[in-house]
Structure 1
Amino acid sequence: MAIFGSSSDTKEIVKIIRPTVIKTQNVAKELIEIAKKNGVSVNSLDFDILAVQTFMRINKENIESDWEEINKNELHELDDIVSILNKFFQIKQTYEIEVYSKDENDIFKNFHAAVGANATKCKVYLSIKEGSEVSITPKFEDEFLKYINKSKIRAGVLLYIFDEMVPELVSRVSAMAKVAGVIKYDKNQTILIAESYEPTPTTNDELIKHYERENPVEENERVDHSRRGFIHSAVEGDLLLEYIKPKKGKPGRNCRGEFMEPLEPVIKYAPDFTVDDTIEVIDSKDNILYKAKISGYISLEAKKYQIKSEMDVGEISFKTTGSIITGLDSDVSLSVQENDSQKDAIGSGMEVQVSEIDIKGNVGPNSKVHAKRATVDGQTHKTSQITATNLTINVHKGSAIGENIKITRLEHGIVDGKKVEIAQALGGNIRAKDIEIGVCASYVKATASRLIEIKKLVGSENIFTIDPLLQKEKIEDFSDNRNEINELKSAIDEVKKEIDRYKKLVKDNTDAFNEVKQRLMHYKKNGIKMPSSFVTKYKQFLKAQEHLETIVNEYKVKNDKLLLLTTKTASFQDNIFDARIINRDKWSGHNELIFKLVDPPIELSYKPQKDSIDKIFAVVESDDGIYEIRAVKE
């Protein structure tokens, strides 16, 4: 039966229900039924806990035993692994509550909180919303404990079993409330109010192919579909495969008292393959690891894994293998067999990175090959790039980068190395420490830091240059050195000006200083108080002398450093006087020899006369300090 009343400060009619006492195992369900029956919102209802009864029983072999009531004082004794994790153990609670309409003066009316739990319901939290507040009352500690317990049973959480932390929590919050008179929450807060036994999940078996894992693609980064993993590289010690063994989980029981039985593991990937002695097998309790004992690439043949180092392929193209990236240290040696002059052994846009590669045919446009050792029996396209420490190319039109490079015929390609040998050069740009050309035709630009040697010259319009700063790191080092010298010279000039100024200051005031010094000694000897103006002048002069001594020392240090840097600058071109441009043949047509000096930064040029038999050229400094290019003896 419902009764009615009116709000004291509004004309709104509030429906109030008659207090009702019920006994139930599901408080939330009963509140909904009472609200529905009386035509009110369930949020307008509150209740008091009058009594809590806890029952337990142990069923075995599908035979149900009778429920036995447990005294409240014995409840926490149940919270142990033996009882709680016994699959035949059952527990339930019955609550006697009195339901009534909420009191407008309820101290928790502005305390907005809800009970939440993790997925297993083994951890239960009281989530307090930002802006919540509650005022202190004489029995606040009891009221707050009642609030938590009512929130828990509304959520179906058992009382007095998994909540050992609640009394301490209530005591702490109560102490805070007593100090401040009110508790306010400036941000959301989550408090643990119950914790039971979390089950351990069951592990299904799994076979992880670590060698197939690709590098993650960054957001908005274009996916390179040419890298399809035709060859998977392995470096010694790499984890290739991992078999995760199946394992049944451990049971648990959540804060509602429900037993949580783990599922049986699913077995789908038990190893049905073998490995040879190139792969180490480590069998442990949880998994089986398969690790590479040598470097190479992973081969699977007839369900047998092994590490190999040599591979033959017909071609490398988008349609067949895609790009092959195994790394320079993978010890993979690749042989590309396609040698048809009308086809590309390395297809357009392909990228190859292996330890060693032998290419029987041609290297296509926009392709990149990177290896420690590489050979190309065919020809390279003008837009291709080959990089290798030791590189051999038959016909070269593209870009070649390495240390030791040998080319049979250079056709307007680019070569950048340390030691370069070219049998026949038909145009192109060559940069190296040492360059040797068998037959040099026309339009060749060769730049070396030490030696250029031509066996036979048959063309013209060639430019042969000696540049001691050829290497990038030397250019950067020289630039840094030169900038430091310029900054140091500027600083030395400033210090010199300051020294001159202080020397004049000390010299002009020495006589006055000596006079002041004598007077001060006289005053001190006769016990006369020294005038402050005399003392100030005396101290100023001493400071001027000390500062002069300091800047003179600074000037000396900076000059010593300048001398050191200048010596270093000179060292950049020390070897230019040993550098040579050699033509073992007679000179033909129009050719130019260039020597670049570092200090002074000048460029010397010389054009040998046609049919001249002068063979060896170097930079020579004359007696009057003039640098010039001259023919010299070996």
Structure 2
Amino acid sequence: MLLRKGLFVAEFYSKIVENCKDIHTELEKVSQSYGLDMNDLWFDLIKVHTLTRSEPHGEFKILDAEGLKQIDDDAFYENPALEVIQRYDICIKRRLFKYFFNLEASPDDNQLYVVYESPFMIINDEWLLGELCDHIEACMAYQKIILRQMQAQHTFFKQEMVRYSNKKELPERICIRKSHYSPNKAGSFTFVLKKSWELKNGEEAPVNAIYGAGKGDVVLEYVKPIQGTSGRDLKGQIKEVEKLEAVPFELDFSNEAFVSNEEPTKIIYISKSPQYVAFINNKSLKSFTRNQYVEMKNTNMPMFLGGVENGLTLHISSKNEIDNAIETNLRIEAKEIYIRGNVGKHVKLVAKKIIIEGQLHTESSAEAEEVLITNNKGLCKGKKVQCKYVDRGTIFAESCEVEASSGSQIYAKDIKLKQIKSNNTFYFSSKCEFEAIDGSDNKFCFSAFASPENKEILEQTKQAMNVYKEKAQKVMAQYQKLSIFVQKNQPTIDKIRNADITTRKVLIEQDAIKQIYYDFMDCLKRVKILHMYISRIQELNRQFLERLVSIESSMQQVKVHTNGPWTAFNTIIYARTYTKGSKSLTTEKGETADYILDTQSGDVKKISRYQHITSF
């Protein structure tokens, strides 16, 4: 017995409800009667009754097997004179298991989607796919969506699951059903430049932004109004769609900057030349072709986004040697960016090529295929990065050349320096060469993940591993919950199994034992499903680790070379995370030696300059 609000309430086992009109209401009744949370209840869909009538005030009649075949026929089903409803026989019970997806209908109830929890793992197993289809049917009944043509729907769903099981990227949702009815769609604009930028960057664009475009780029798209279709929605309701009236629209744009191209279903607007573009109030396209600026400030400038591939080249300068060329809180993207003067705080520069004749603030960044900068205190990313000074800055590059570095971090395949001060950390996967060192406490790290390509793989893989770790924790929480239930009720199940036929029959007729038995059998099925998910996660983690081990094991012919003598207290490190442990050596003052990676032993070795020369 359970005590709730001073009253004794019988413990809930299960409840059969026949001819149920609203499943949500029935679950709510049980929730209130037994003091249970709605989220702890679910149901088995035992039987579906389909009823029809042809007269507005006539009696609904249950369809037999032949009648159900007619419901699957579109011509019969779409008859406006026909009314269709469904009722359900269900068994309400405690929820022992929750699938990792939801079922969502579109706002107009004309499309049905399976929406996956991220990350969604597809396991290509016929039995499991059948279980998913059964759950989809239950969810459809819960949402009062008419169940018809289910075999075709399940076949399509399974085909989609199999198709996506071989792909790396999965969609967030899959449409598994569309009604004959579709609503009217008004004409709409899509600012293609903005949408493309948001998709590429995975973030919402700032409000005050203009967008770069090159010659021939599609800037804006107008999708013409679409006439809907009358018919039944997913819930079987007849929806009448009115005739869509042609509504003219006006768009203000310069024929010198843009050209329009009309197609049967849309009108596209194309850039005639490199420029920045703004789409204002769904009424006008504005072109910006100015490419020279003095002292950019966020108070008088928008964000310059996109145009990296084929947009404008920007020239930005300061008023004098004291003021910044770019002040704070700006994002500037272009094909090429040339700056004379310093770059202030919270500025992000993105281009194919960036040249800064000045200083980059410690909280700002420059990202391009080629970056040339006088003084880097911030973050530089590129295939090729050249800096005169790096003062506590960070660099990620394929190849990097620096005249003098102090307190900085550099990640690159190849690093070339003239002078090294103190407290630097260099990560490289091929070679690090420098002319002179006059500081100490520097770290030279042999790392397979120093190059941009491998570092990106590392970050993506670690992120995926963390995501699947969270997924595994969720799965294990359900698995442990079910395992506790199995252990708790195993004695009762053993008692039933070991009893003779007469005793077993008597036991099964007891409501409490009957429910334990059916829940136990259902629980074993859910445990099997969760075990499949756990095995899949383990397989994915194994693949992730194999990929990282392969990269780390492939590093060869790595060395540190200096033209002058070493100072004391610098550290040479072979940084390994996924293979054998890291190793390190410490330099001695005055020694003249190179440090190389011995591919046979996997150790870092010191080669004296004389020995190194005579070995060739």
TM over 0.5: no
Q: Which has the higher contact order (CA 8 A, sep 6+)?
A: 2
TM-score range, shorter chain: 0.3 to 0.5
